[in-house]
Structure 1
Amino acid sequence: MTTILPAISPIVPEYRAFAPRPLRVALFSGNYDCVRDGANRALNRLVAYLLEQAGAEVRIYSPVAPQKAFASVGDIVPVRSACIPGRPEYRLALGFTKAAREDMEAFAPDIVHLSAPDILGRQAQNYARAAGIPVVTSLHTRFETYLHYYRLGLLRGPVDRYLARFYGDADHILAPTPPIRDALGEQFGPGKVSIWSRGVDPKMFGPALRSQAFRQLLGYTPDDLVPLFFGRLVLEKGLDVFAGTIAALRERGHMVRPIVVGDGPARDWLARRLPNVTFLGFLDGAALGEAVASADILINPSVTEAFGNVNLEAMASGLAVVSADVDSASALIDHGRTGLLVPPHDPGAYAAAAASLIDQPARRYRLGRAAAEVADRYRWDAVLADVARVYERLAGRDVALHSPALARQYAA
């Protein structure tokens, strides 16, 4: 727990025992249900677990959109926000408002969990530290990698320094994979970082959901090899590399017609650069599991994920995966045994790897079976219980110091 400095000790904090009531968690999110992506789905699963299985109380502070992107879980306190120019599906929080602060004071959380390093998260972090409330941050996206796709490379230094301050000022950091945990541990100390992995729902993703009828409905024969792109259609997901990979495969004589599951502002951009593609848009539930399992090879060129839910869900579906060789992928994929890892920005390398799987169907099936076995180990309840244990340890579950008055005076 953050130590209250002697310089501000004249303000007497309030003491509150934990034992008589459930753990209270204030979760701050950049776009809790505005955008349908892996990070927000993971946060919603966490909230559901805390409410339904851990017996905790949760308040979510987040921008809200006129229409939710999906059915969300929990009580959301809206914060003031604005649309991001050119990306209307995303909303940018404008700070930790007085109304949100007063709501959190009344809620009296034992833990503040920050899932985005935005201005809302930073101001809430400053408030919580001044009030003596333990702060947990979780890393979901490699935001620094976005700069490459939007030609903002000159901002890399300031962005890296800001992120270092944000994560460094937390009491604990939840990292999605061992490589990221180790890197953050070297920077901030190994005792400050633990893993919040991800899970997969075996009822939703599995090889048994593969459907020849579904393929036939889309015009594919049993002998067609179907590459899959699965994710939001935004430039930072590596759409240029995916388009280049399919073009290179076609130049090699493999006249593949990919399936694209997902949607986003770059859909038309991709359609113009890559003809003869089956766009299925956003899918969910049984339809999503069937579509993923009915493809043959996932091609995932994204370098921005911190975990790689798409890889895990495709592996669980029995697909051979060709992925960018980045930390999020190497933590899941054993190259040559459960998938193939290639240089991140080289369409030729993706095409060569995919072509080798087209030409060697027995190897493709073997990779897919091994991938499904590994993915079966990733269960949501186990990984979410790890997060709850971090909360309990940091909160102490004995006596905590909380002082809203102190926080208002000393929060930056």
Structure 2
Amino acid sequence: MPKLRIAFFAEMLLENYDGAIRTMHHIIKRIPKDKFEVVFICGVPPKEDIGFKVITVPTMTIPFNKNYKVALHQLSQHKLTKTLDGFKPDLVHVSTPSPLGHYGLTYAEKNEIPTSTIYHTHYLSYVDYYLRGLPLLVKPIKEAIGKNIKNFYNRCDRVFIPTKQMEIDLTEYGVKRNNMRIWARGINQNIFNPNKKDSKFLRSITGNSNPNILFASRLVWEKNLQTLINIYKKAEEEGKAWNFIIAGDGVARQALQKQMPKAIFMGKLDQSTLATVYASSDIFIFPSISETYGNVVIEAMSCGIPCVIANGGGSASFIDHGSNGYLCQPNNPADYISYAEIILENEALRNSIINSGYNYVKGKDWESVVSNLFAEWKDLILKEVVLQLIKSKKAV
């Protein structure tokens, strides 16, 4: 059987840059080369050789978020189209509802090629943060983004979403439910597991044996960092002898350090060290409501740390309140502190939550998750082949 040809569009492919790109690399590393031939079209290419052809197009830094770049395919569109015509893809996969993503869909529609996408980023949840100083613009900008989301994802034959909550949200925006499939993310439990616990390691950093309250994520304001600050301040006001540990880096780090002077900022950690920090901490607090999935919550549960998180966004779908963690009113610091106290004061409850959380994530390995994606790709391609055969017979 000939290899199936996939044209894969993405803005950026820098491994470990963020959760979405990490997911893409989990896919890339598991593509069976005897079954698929893939060409990647992106703005920012991977630093390392990924074993497949990569076509790079010009980029521009996003004005309101200098950490990211948008691909400007228009500057090399003729060359790009010619390359795709020569490649003759059987399926087009687009990663984001960007100009490059729309170009990929347009090319596929013109050439009657099936399409797929993974819903990586819950863009609408970012608007309140980026426009917090311009409240009058929030509603019209949200309406414009919602319209783009509806138009983009309804052009895709298959939309892979990570949680049931995302299906509900996208349906409200007008995305066709029939095109959506829940495709959860995987977890490498060889790295993220309770055996990584090393209390001495954390004591060497904190200098004490007090409870360790961990937050791990990119330090960007859309992660609801103001609530994290408020949790810290309320704990300080109440005289809690807690160590606040912040793992991650980003544009908000300096502001956070000023607002949380006693917190321990560890910066961006490699996965092995991060797993040790998870497993050695006492509570994982995560107030973000902008998550499409929330990899850090799954990682924390896999490492055996109780999770106290916001009741909002995709990550809330992981928590059975009171069983494998706790859900909080997203912007209410007292909620997070109250549930953290309950866990810290009841060892039997803490152990029950840890076991339930670990059992929830057990078996969510990347191999089976990615295999399901490849099976969906094959199914889309086969359906298109059958459809074209039917069209050919009708034309005779």
CA distance in 1, matches of 2:16, 2:370: 21
Name 1:138's counterpart in structure 2: 118
Q: 2:89 aligned with 1:109, yes or no?
A: yes
Percent identity over the alignment is 29
- Root-mean-square deviation (Å): 2.3
Equivalence map 1:10-409=2 (5 Å): 20-33=1-14, 36-51=17-32, 55-64=35-44, 68=47, 74-85=52-63, 87-95=65-73, 97-151=77-131, 152-154=137-139, 155-184=141-170, 187-221=174-208, 223-396=209-382, 399=385
The alpha carbon displacement at 1:278 in A equals 1.5
Given that residues 16 and 22 in structure 2 are in contact (C-alpha distance below 8 angstroms), is that contact kept between their aligned partners in structure 1?
no
CA offsets 1:64-122 (integer angstroms, 9 cap, x no match)? 17x84x88674321111111235333111123533332222222211111111111101
CA distance in 2, matches of 1:357, 1:87: 37
Given that residues 34 and 89 in structure 1 are in contact (C-alpha distance below 8 angstroms), is that contact kept between their aligned partners in structure 2?
no
CA distance in 2, matches of 1:265, 1:389: 39
Given that residues 206 and 243 in structure 2 are in contact (C-alpha distance below 8 angstroms), is that contact kept between their aligned partners in structure 1?
no
Given that residues 299 and 323 in structure 1 are in contact (C-alpha distance below 8 angstroms), is that contact kept between their aligned partners in structure 2?
yes
CA offsets 1:274-309 (integer angstroms, 9 cap, x no match)? 111221111123222112211111111111111111
CA distance in 1, matches of 2:255, 2:240: 23
Name 1:405's counterpart in structure 2: none
Given that residues 185 and 191 in structure 1 are in contact (C-alpha distance below 8 angstroms), is that contact kept between their aligned partners in structure 2?
no
Given that residues 30 and 62 in structure 1 are in contact (C-alpha distance below 8 angstroms), is that contact kept between their aligned partners in structure 2?
yes
CA distance in 2, matches of 1:382, 1:194: 16
The alpha carbon displacement at 1:376 in A equals 1.1
CA distance in 1, matches of 2:81, 2:178: 30
CA offsets 1:208-264 (integer angstroms, 9 cap, x no match)? 10102211220343x411111111111111111111111112222213221111111
Given that residues 226 and 297 in structure 1 are in contact (C-alpha distance below 8 angstroms), is that contact kept between their aligned partners in structure 2?
yes
AA matched with 1:346: N
* Corresponding residue pairs, total: 379
CA distance in 2, matches of 1:338, 1:272: 33
SS at match of 1:259: strand
CA distance in 1, matches of 2:186, 2:232: 30
Highest RCO, 1 vs 2 (Cα 8 Å, sep ≥ 6): 1
Given that residues 199 and 383 in structure 1 are in contact (C-alpha distance below 8 angstroms), is that contact kept between their aligned partners in structure 2?
yes
Cα gap change, 1:94 to 1:35, in 2 (>3 Å): farther
Q: Does 393-402 or 145-154 show the bigger shift?
A: 393-402
AA matched with 2:122: R
More helix by percentage:
2
AA matched with 2:128: H
Given that residues 133 and 401 in structure 1 are in contact (C-alpha distance below 8 angstroms), is that contact kept between their aligned partners in structure 2?
no
TM-score of the superposition, structure 2-length normalised? Answer: 0.89
CA distance in 2, matches of 1:283, 1:322: 22
CA offsets 1:138-194 (integer angstroms, 9 cap, x no match)? 101110111100115131111101110001111111111123235546744443111
Given that residues 165 and 317 in structure 2 are in contact (C-alpha distance below 8 angstroms), is that contact kept between their aligned partners in structure 1?
yes
Unaligned runs of 5+ in 2: 132-136, 389-396
Cα gap change, 1:331 to 1:129, in 2 (>3 Å): same
CA offsets 1:373-394 (integer angstroms, 9 cap, x no match)? 2111211111111111111111
CA distance in 1, matches of 2:12, 2:162: 19
Given that residues 33 and 72 in structure 1 are in contact (C-alpha distance below 8 angstroms), is that contact kept between their aligned partners in structure 2?
no
SS at match of 1:50: coil
AA matched with 1:105: D
Unaligned runs of 5+ in 1: 1-19, 403-412
CA distance in 1, matches of 2:329, 2:49: 37
Cα gap change, 1:203 to 1:332, in 2 (>3 Å): same
SS at match of 2:14: coil
